[in-house]
Amino acid sequence: MANDVFVNWGGQRICLRWHAKKKVGAEDLVTSVHGYCFSEGKVLLVHVKGRGFNVPGGHVENGETAEAALHREIFEEAYVVGTSKYIGAIEVDHTDNPDFMENGPYPKIGYQLFYRVDIDECLPFLRENETLSRIWVEPEELSYVMDDHEIGALILMDALKLEKRNE
């Protein structure tokens, strides 16, 4: 498939595919949620211990909806509150991963959900969780700061298309 990107995560070969606007029906296939957070035209990045700068996000907890997990994660990692719009999903495919554990914590094919978040409130950064700092970056400079696969650029483009409506 033309949109396939292969990455090495923890020594394992994983295939990633971006699906703009794709709805994931089974919540047990959602492995994480992430937010491209915007304020005054800039994107918020957080420095996560051991992972460098990235958009805030994390795992969905038991009994939590994906969107509730998103808002919890962006608050815990970045101390921001905002309005979210769904962008799409990265399909994380372990089919070609010879080290995949059938009874492990992740499904053979799972999804990471992505949202655009327009920040309504930015609170003092308290460093109480796993993030060391937060920074604001011009969208065109994101790829220089965030060490991520090329699908990140596709997600950013789709996030920028979802400008906050003035209501």
pLDDT tens column, 31-55: 999 999 999 999 999 998 888 999 9
Q: What mean pLDDT do residues 80-98 have?
A: 94
Q: What pLDDT score does 69 carry?
A: 96
Query: Quick one: how many helices (H) and strands (E) in the chain?
Result: 3, 9
Could you tell me if residue 45 is inside a domain?
yes
Cβ atoms 98, 123 nearer than 8 A: no
Could you tell me if residue 121 is inside a domain?
yes
pLDDT in tens, 120-129: 999 999 988 8
Could you tell me if residue 166 is inside a domain?
no
Q: How confident is the model at residue 19 (pLDDT cuts 50, 70, 90)?
A: very high
Question: In this model, does residue 163 exceed pLDDT 80?
Answer: no
Phi, psi of 92 (to 5 degrees): -105, 110
The pTM score is 0.92
Could you tell me if residue 151 is inside a domain?
yes
Could you tell me if residue 167 is inside a domain?
no
Question: In this model, does residue 167 exceed pLDDT 60?
Answer: no
Could you tell me if residue 77 is inside a domain?
yes
The parent domain of residue 66 ranges over 5-161
Flag the least confident range among 112-116, 141-145, 160-164. Answer: 160-164
Cβ atoms 165, 64 nearer than 8 A: no
CATH number for the domain harbouring residue 130: 3.90.79.10
Question: In this model, does residue 166 exceed pLDDT 70?
Answer: no
Spatial distance between the Cα atoms of 156 and 4, rounded to a whole number of angstroms: 17
Using CA atoms of 43, 133, 17, 165 in order, give the dihedral in degrees to the nearest 10.
-30
Number of domains in the chain: 1
Q: What pLDDT score does 141 carry?
A: 94
- Mean pLDDT of the chain, nearest integer: 90
**What letters, b where the CB count within 10 A reaches 16 and e where it falls short, cover 76-85?**
ebbbbebebe
Could you tell me if residue 12 is inside a domain?
yes
Q: What pLDDT score does 134 carry?
A: 96
With H, G, I as helix, E, B as strand and everything else as coil, classify residue 155: helix
Could you tell me if residue 23 is inside a domain?
yes
